[in-house]
Amino acid sequence: MSGLFLHAAELPSLLPSHHIRRLRPWWSSSYAPILRLSSTSAFSRHRPMVAGKAASDSLKLGIAELYDESSGLWESIWGDHMHHGFYEAGEQASIADHRAAQIRMVEESLRFAGVPDDPQRKPERIVDVGCGIGGSSRYLAKKYGARVQGITLSPVQAERAQDLAAAEELADKVSFQVADALEQPFPDGQFDLVWSMESGEHMPDKEKFVSELARVAARGATIIIVTWCHRDLSPSENLKPDEVNLLNKICKAYYLPKWCSAADYVGIAKSLSLEDVRTADWSENVAPFWPAVIRSALTLRSFISLLQSGWKTIRGALVMPLMIEGYKKGLIKFTIITCRKP
């Protein structure tokens, strides 16, 4: 995930008045370019990133730098699980529930995929593709007593993940490295659980992405992909111009290539002869998450930390309301796709 995002235009009305008086002279000079960038005209020039060596290298560098910048801020407020929380559909979540909801996301994903807790059948070798600072990796290592290897494009994340593993006395179970999910540094058939929690949206080649997940999976292994998709389309249908425009704005800030649908993932999985392919739309279950991220940032300390994180993090902040809009319109779908390697 892209870290902590807060719409800058909302901040003057959300911070206490005495903080605003103290910060106003600095705010006026610092935020003019940011607020101009948040206008529709500034974003409308963007087009989704496309495949190709130069574009792919640029995309990977942008992703790495985004997470290098934003991961520390995210961890300081939300902890080490850098992904959505899972909530009961239609229920209001309390502030205290949000970190627990992130753990529920992990557990619900395992449950949906049918990953067994049976000591004789539980996974022993796991790869965490797009591991962030290793929250899922350490959780899965503890839950199953498994050996887990995590990969990320961000050197900052990999180092922090390793430090946290050592602090939790898991250094002999969990390891992390900088690597590309489309060219994983693992031999064929190494893992009996292949885990990708909110990293698929960054992949410029979805076919190659799923193919790599399948390649490193052992026979009988479960593959779990939790990712952002756009809505399913009929065979003759295209996204509407306003939908394309909205997604293009999000792509610009979060370093995303062209989006795909859950149906696209199903088609890819079946083309690779993967079995037991299942999907679910959990959009309603994650609805409280983005507003919760905004609320979590409404302190002076968090506000200043956001500004100090860097331009990429700030730019992501400006786009967060568009994620909420995309969910509300039914354009963005929070999707889980699971399958098994025969």
**Residue 182 — very low, low, confident or very high, per pLDDT cuts 50/70/90?**
very high
Please give the average per-residue pLDDT across 16-36, as a whole number: 33
For residue 220, pLDDT over 80 is answered with: yes
Q: Which domains does the chain have, with CATH numbers?
A: 52-341 (3.40.50.150)
Percent of the chain with pLDDT over 90: 63
**Residue 297 — very low, low, confident or very high, per pLDDT cuts 50/70/90?**
low
- Give the 3-state secondary structure of residue 277: strand
Q: Write out pLDDT tens, residues 160-179.
A: 999 999 999 999 999 999 99
Please tell me the distance from the alpha carbon of residue 134 to that of residue 74, in angstroms, as a whole number. 13
The predicted pLDDT at position 236 comes to 95
The predicted pLDDT at position 306 comes to 65
Please give the average per-residue pLDDT across 81-102, as a whole number: 82
The predicted pLDDT at position 188 comes to 98
Q: Write out pLDDT tens, residues 183-203.
A: 999 999 999 999 999 999 999
CA neighbours within 13 Å on the CB side: how many for 296? 25
**Residue 10 — very low, low, confident or very high, per pLDDT cuts 50/70/90?**
very low
The predicted pLDDT at position 303 comes to 61
Q: What is the dihedral of CA 307, 248, 153, 134, to 10 degrees?
A: 70
Backbone φ, ψ for residue 143 (5° rounding)? -65, -40
Nearest partner of 314 among 38, 28, 12, judged by Cα = 38
Please give the average per-residue pLDDT across 126-153, as a whole number: 98
